[in-house]
Amino acid sequence: MAELLDHNPDDGRIELGFTDGRRTVDRDTEIAIELLCEHIHAAVERIAAAQDAEVTGNRKLLKFRR
């Protein structure tokens, strides 16, 4: 079981901890966490772009990863 220990949007860091006693992370879990972070990053960029567009009244193009 993973739990969010700390996050600070200003430095782009999310800290996760495990409550099941493990001391290392297996490769499958590592890949899953990397994918999660990519999705969070993309969502934050979309939200920030939408907020910028609301403030300025301009539309912005969003970059989507392939």
Q: What is the pLDDT of residue 1?
A: 58
Q: What is the pLDDT of residue 66?
A: 64
Q: How far apart are CA 26 and CA 57, in angstroms?
A: 46
- Per-residue tens of pLDDT for the chain, all 66 residues: 556 565 565 666 777 888 898 888 899 999 998 898 888 888 888 888 877 766 656 555 666 766
E strands present in 1-66 = 2-8, 13-18
Q: What is the pLDDT of residue 4?
A: 57
Q: What is the pLDDT of residue 37?
A: 85
The structure's pTM equals: 0.60
SS3 60: coil
Q: How far apart are CA 62 and CA 46, in angstroms?
A: 7
